[in-house]
């Protein structure tokens, strides 16, 4: 029986000490031998407003030191069932966004060649496009659960087709998405026209605006998502700005009227039993939240994603 990595416990080393990895897990040079891996993409050169997401992966890891291995709500104990480690950051070219997109895709080709499931610490939302391109080579078009304040389907920004407001337009153009199984949850705010949200609807995507989520549990919605996705490969992309800025101010493009932290947990926990092939948590910008709470929420959501991966039973004893 193989020995499984465990996070460094708070009684073995104070929480403010130990390795600066996600959940203070062992660091690996690659995804070889892993079932799942945490990987950072310190990218913010695709942002259009406030920068700082290049610092997101480091602070998410720092705030993750408070996480413990057992999920008290769901009973999941991921480190008892799958091999997990932190494989560090993608070495992007911080002066060239287009080159960085290629670097990210190649890096994820390697992760997926090892059959590991990547959980990505962002970084701005540009990064999801090259990840989805790598996913398509292995899984074909994937179902998508995209949680965000913004649709990110712009044709271009400032004349450029590569930016954090464009990844899902580019992914659609590249045939990366299973259009009948794309869900965008939490969209809101002002726009330029109805097409800002209807573009996806016109392609068969299911778009749930934030106002449809107010004052209620999202568990019934996630039941509908599970029924639609079934056993198809599915990718989860979670933009922290989907949350109301009362919970997560540390991001670049805040919008009022967003989701709550408990709704965020319902969404991720509602992905149980799905064939999840990858996840990301993006747009944490530490300079805009000196408390660290936005990164702390991001770390918890990444842990919750780990807890719903295939081969992690719920209700483990």
- 8 A C-beta contact, residue 236 and residue 276: yes
Residue 139 annotated as part of some ligand binding site: no
CB 118 within 8 A of CB 132: no
Per the annotation, does 239 bind a ligand?
yes
Residue 96 assigned to a binding site: no
- Say if residues 205 and 179 touch (Cβ distance below 8 Å): yes
Largest CA distance in the chain: 57
Q: Report the SS3 class of residue 160.
A: strand
Q: 230, 218 in Cβ contact below 8 A?
A: no
Rg (CA), the chain: 18
In the chain, at which residue ranges do the beta strands (DSSP E only) sit? 36-41, 84-89, 117-122, 142-147, 177-187, 206-209, 233-239, 275-282
The rounded Cα 279 to chain-centroid distance in angstroms is 4
Spatial neighbors of 309 by CB under 8 A, at least 6 apart, are: 35, 36, 78, 82, 117, 276
Task: Read off the DSSP letter of residue 103.
Answer: H
Tokens of 251: 């991001």
Cα–Cα nearest to 57, from 307, 308, 280: 280
- The helix/strand/coil state of 123 is coil
Q: How far apart are CA 183 and CA 234, in angstroms?
A: 11
Pull the structure tokens for residue 219: 């568990």
Calpha distance 171→101 (Å, rounded): 12
Query: According to the annotation, is 148 in a ligand binding site?
Result: yes
Residues making up the annotated binding site are: 125, 148, 150, 152, 239, 241
Residues making up the annotated binding site for Mn(2+) are: 125, 148, 150, 152, 239, 241
């Amino acid at each position: 029986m193989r020995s499984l990595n465990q996070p460094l416990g708070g009684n073995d080393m104070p929480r403010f000490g130990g390795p600066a990895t996600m959940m203070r897990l062992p660091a690996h040079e690659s995804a070889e031998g892993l079932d799942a891996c945490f990987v950072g993409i310190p990218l913010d050169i695709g942002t259009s407003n406030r920068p700082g997401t290049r610092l997101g992966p480091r602070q998410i890891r720092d705030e993750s030191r408070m996480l413990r291995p057992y999920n008290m709500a769901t009973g999941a104990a991921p480190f008892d069932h799958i091999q997990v480690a932190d494989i560090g950051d993608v070495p992007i070219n911080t002066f060239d966004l287009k080159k960085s997109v290629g670097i990210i895709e190649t890096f994820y080709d390697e992760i997926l060649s090892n059959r590991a499931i990547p959980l990505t610490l962002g970084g701005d939302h540009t990064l999801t496009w090259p990840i989805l391109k790598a996913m398509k080579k292995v899984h074909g078009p994937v179902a998508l659960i995209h949680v965000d304040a913004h649709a990110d389907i712009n044709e271009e920004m400032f004349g450029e087709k590569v930016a954090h407001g464009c990844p899902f337009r580019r992914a659609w153009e590249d045939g990366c998405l299973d259009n009948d199984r794309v869900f965008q949850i939490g969209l809101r705010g002002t726009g330029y026209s109805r097409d800002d949200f209807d573009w996806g609807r016109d392609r068969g995507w299911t778009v749930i605006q934030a106002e449809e989520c107010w004052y209620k549990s999202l568990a019934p919605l996630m039941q509908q998502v599970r029924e639609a996705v079934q056993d198809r490969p599915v990718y989860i992309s979670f933009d922290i700005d989907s949350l109301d800025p009362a919970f997560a101010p540390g991001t670049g493009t805040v919008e009022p009227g967003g989701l709550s932290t408990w709704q965020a947990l319902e969404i991720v926990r509602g992905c149980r039993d799905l064939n999840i092939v990858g996840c990301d948590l993006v747009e944490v910008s530490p300079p805009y939240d000196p408390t660290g709470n936005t990164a702390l929420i991001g770390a918890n959501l990444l842990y919750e994603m780990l807890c719903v991966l295939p081969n992690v039973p719920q209700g483990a004893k």
